[in-house]
Homo-oligomer: A and B are copies of this chain.
Amino acid sequence: MTVTIYDVAREANVSMATVSRVVNGNPNVKPSTRKKVLEVIERLEYRPNAVARGLASKKTTTVGVIIPDISNIFYAELARGIEDVATMYRYNIILSNSDLNEEKELTLLDNMYGKQVDGIVMMTERVTDPLADKMGHSPVPIVLAGSIDESNHLPSVNIDYTEATYEAVKQLIENGNERIAFISGSFNATINKKYKYQGYVKALEEAGIPIDEALIFDDVLTYDQGMKVYNHVSKLAQPATAYFVGSDEPAIGVIHAAQDDEKIVPIDIEVCSFENSKLARMVRPQLSSVVLPLYDIGAVSMRLLTKIMNKEDIEDKQVMLPYRMESRNSTR
């Protein structure tokens, strides 16, 4: 039925080995026989079977990608970065959603191992012990994208979340705010709980502003949740005048809730986000945000993975990408 390397060999009066050589671009083939083989390949429409190749060579030229949820722009942007450089290096991507569920992450890793991927790029909120253990015993290299492994054993690509947050909050303080709410994603996430939060605390302490637990919220991920938090905070005896929000969607929720509350952003209320997806430009006023370069984090992670799979020497396996602040009109 399907034409195999053997069929090509027979038709071209050469051995399988020679066909294999021309298919794989091995230079040790006389131009004339290469030509002959190529012709037969064309005529028979021969297409190498990647599975057989994978079994024989122990390389599948596919890498696994485990992310929380592809339908979230946040992660989709990362995925695109990964995919683009994967394509560049001729790798295919097996994509799986973990929904931030540790059980699922563990299963997916096993699944990827079973599929004999050549490497894995993973994004997760927290590298728990079971995860660290399974990844530590991985048969293939793994790179963490935008994720922190506190033991620092795994290669990873991140930005300095603490500094970025510190700078953003400091700016809010310099603008005259003393009541600054910290609206975060899940505190189960290492990045939120230990890094961004620390930056927030550092900025406030430096300015001599006391930390008020009443202004700190975690698990705020959606537009609606952002609105809800604003509506709660605005009714406090001492409401916040500025909001540092962990991502764009809830930040927009905060802005709209503030506007519904007859407040003018950024005059009465300032809002700063931490993401800068294309949503940031699609609100009025446009959203000021720390730029989290998701696409780049994905791309660099994949690039790092190719190097490791290729057994190249890596100077530093914990890559820190630069970040910047995009000041638009939701802050003064």
Residues of A within 8 A of B (CB): 2, 47-52, 54-55, 60, 62, 69-73, 76-77, 79-80, 83-84, 87, 92-97, 110-111, 113-116, 139, 223, 249, 252-253, 256, 259, 278-279, 281-284, 295
> Is B70's CB under 8 angstroms from A60's CB?
no
Alpha-carbon gap, A111 to B50, bound state (A): 9
> Is B96's CB under 8 angstroms from A93's CB?
yes
Task: Among B48, B87, B139, point to the contact of A96 (Cβ < 8 A).
Answer: B87
Alpha-carbon gap, A49 to B113, bound state (A): 8
> Is A110's CB under 8 angstroms from B70's CB?
no
Question: 4 smallest A-B Cβ distances: which pairs?
Answer: A71-B80, A95-B95, A76-B76, A51-B54
Alpha-carbon gap, A332 to B96, bound state (A): 42
Chain B residues whose C-beta falls within 8 Å of the C-beta of A249 in the assembled complex: 282
> Is A2's CB under 8 angstroms from B51's CB?
no
> Is A76's CB under 8 angstroms from B71's CB?
yes
Alpha-carbon gap, A49 to B282, bound state (A): 47
> Is A47's CB under 8 angstroms from B223's CB?
no
Chain B residues whose C-beta falls within 8 Å of the C-beta of A52 in the assembled complex: 55
Chain B residues whose C-beta falls within 8 Å of the C-beta of A54 in the assembled complex: 51
- Chain B nearest CB, measured from A219 CB (Å): 18
Knowing A80-B71, A256-B284, A278-B223, say if A49 contacts B114 (CB, 8 Å).
yes
Residue of B nearest to A61 (CB): B115
> Is B94's CB under 8 angstroms from A47's CB?
no
Identify which of A48, A71, A113, A115 gathers the most chain B CB atoms within 10 Å of its CB. Answer: A71
> Is A71's CB under 8 angstroms from B62's CB?
no
- Chain B nearest CB, measured from A85 CB (Å): 12
Alpha-carbon gap, A73 to B282, bound state (A): 14
Alpha-carbon gap, A55 to B253, bound state (A): 51
What are 29 pairs between A and B in contact, CB < 8 Å?
A: A49-B114, A49-B116, A50-B115, A51-B51, A51-B55, A51-B116, A69-B80, A70-B79, A71-B76, A71-B77, A71-B79, A71-B80, A72-B76, A73-B76, A83-B97, A87-B96, A87-B97, A92-B94, A92-B111, A92-B115, A94-B94, A223-B281, A252-B282, A253-B282, A256-B282, A256-B284, A259-B284, A282-B282, A284-B284
> Is A60's CB under 8 angstroms from B51's CB?
yes
Alpha-carbon gap, A205 to B69, bound state (A): 44
Alpha-carbon gap, A260 to B305, bound state (A): 47
- Chain B nearest CB, measured from A30 CB (Å): 26
Identify which of A72, A87, A92, A284 gathers the most chain B CB atoms within 10 Å of its CB. Answer: A92
Alpha-carbon gap, A42 to B311, bound state (A): 31
Chain B residues whose C-beta falls within 8 Å of the C-beta of A49 in the assembled complex: 55, 114, 116
Residue of B nearest to A47 (CB): B114
